[in-house]
Amino acid sequence: MTQSVPTSSNSVSPASSKFLTTAELRKSFIDFFVSKQHTHVPSSSLVPYNDPTLLFTNAGMNQFKDCFLGIDKRDYSRAVTSQKCVRAGGKHNDLDNVGYTARHHTFFEMLGNFSFGDYFKKSAIAYAWEFLTSAQWLALDANRLYVTIYETDDEAFDIWHKDIGLPAERIIRIGDNKGAPYASDNFWAMGDTGPCGPCTEVFFDHGAHVEGGLPGTPEEDGDRYIEVWNCVFMQFNRQPDGTMEPLPAPSVDTGMGLERISAILQGVHSNYEIDLFVNLINSAADLLGIKMKTKLP
């Protein structure tokens, strides 16, 4: 599956030879992972069932928390979902970014694949790369992709560099940049306690005409290089006193914002310009009797 990776990075070529609607993208993601022996599980409720640590569902992995902890046994060890999420409070609160960036929402949909003690880093990275870049799936221009890894995760570095073929300068190490051990953009936790682990994130370059810098630079919050997919290597169960207990088995939890990847596959820079939002905006205008039509991408 390895695709050769060009080394120049200032391409303004189309992101992909394909155009996919949001609905087609959601289906494509689910079809891809079903073809890799994942069970398609429906989105869970926005209000988590039986979890006092969360007010709203903030990630696809919430409904599988007990599977990662080894408490809940299902008849599958691989799952794929398109999960409705709210990030307007608590951990992973995006509220202050909404309206200021082209990519944050309070309510959005997260595509995710999960392994409960089944595959780990190597397959998680290989699946992500295959789905994003292979001609059969999204056919994204690999030249516009960068990745971050947790600073000490040499294993993830080697997989990206040696197995996938990504040049070393396109793999960025991020340490504990949030002021405490394991407080890092590349160490993901669903809340103050519970399953957590180092992660690798895939970034897409929207092009030099958009302001923003690479992850780890002072300009990283701009909209040029945006995180599209976070692959978490679930390894620990964080306790209330901060200690990290190993999970029963290394696992995988990934999350890709449906609206962000739709923007890329629809050749627009802002999430608000994708078919999903344009149709909503036009319907709202019709209902209000406002004569305006925003063009579909």
List residues binding ligand GLY (CB under 6 A).
59, 61, 188, 230, 232, 253, 255
* Distance of closest approach, residue 178 Cβ to ligand GLY, in angstroms: 15
CA distance readout (Å), 123 to 104, 115, 181, 196, 252: 28, 10, 27, 19, 10
Q: Which two tokens stand for residue 252?
A: 């995988």
Residue nearest to ligand GLY (CB): 255
Q: Which is nearer to ligand GLY, 185 or 275 (CB)?
A: 185
- Closer residue to ligand GLY (CB): 129 or 273: 129
Contact yes or no for 65/190 (Cβ under 8 A): yes
Tokens 């040049």, residue? 167
Strand-pairing partners, residue 86, are: 107
**Which one, 112 or 278, has the nearer CB to ligand GLY?**
112
CB 157 within 8 A of CB 165: no
Distance CA 144, CA 98 (A): 25
**Considering only CA atoms, which of 188, 220, 221, 210 is closest in space to residue 264?**
210
Task: Collect all residues with Cβ–Cβ distance below 8 Å to 273 and sequence separation of at least 6.
Answer: 263, 266, 294, 297
CB of 273 to ligand GLY, least distance (A): 23
DSSP H or E segment with residue 86: strand 78-86
SS3 state of residue 277: helix
Q: What's the longest Cα–Cα distance across the chain?
A: 58
* Distance in Å, CB of 220 to ligand GLY, minimum: 16
**Closest to ligand GLY by CB, 45 or 136:** 45
Nearer to ligand GLY, 16 or 113 (CB): 113
| Least distance (Å) between residue 6 CB and ligand GLY | 28
Q: Give the nearer residue to ligand GLY in terms of CB position, either 25 or 61.
A: 61
Residues with Cβ within 8 Å of 198's Cβ and at least 6 positions away in sequence, in order, are 149, 150, 152, 153, 156, 186, 187, 188, 232, 233, 235
| 65 versus 144: smaller Cβ distance to ligand GLY | 65
Q: Tokens at residue 32, please?
A: 């891809």
Question: Shortest gap between Cβ of 230 and ligand GLY (angstroms)?
Answer: 4
Distance CA 85, CA 60 (A): 8
- State the nearest-atom distance from the C-beta of 199 to ligand GLY, in Å: 7
Residue placing its CB nearer to ligand GLY in the complex, 130 or 253? 253
Could you tell me the smallest distance in angstroms from the CB atom of residue 134 to ligand GLY?
A: 23
Least separation in angstroms between residue 234's CB and ligand GLY is 9
Identity of residue 294: T
Judged by DSSP in three states, 272 sits in helix
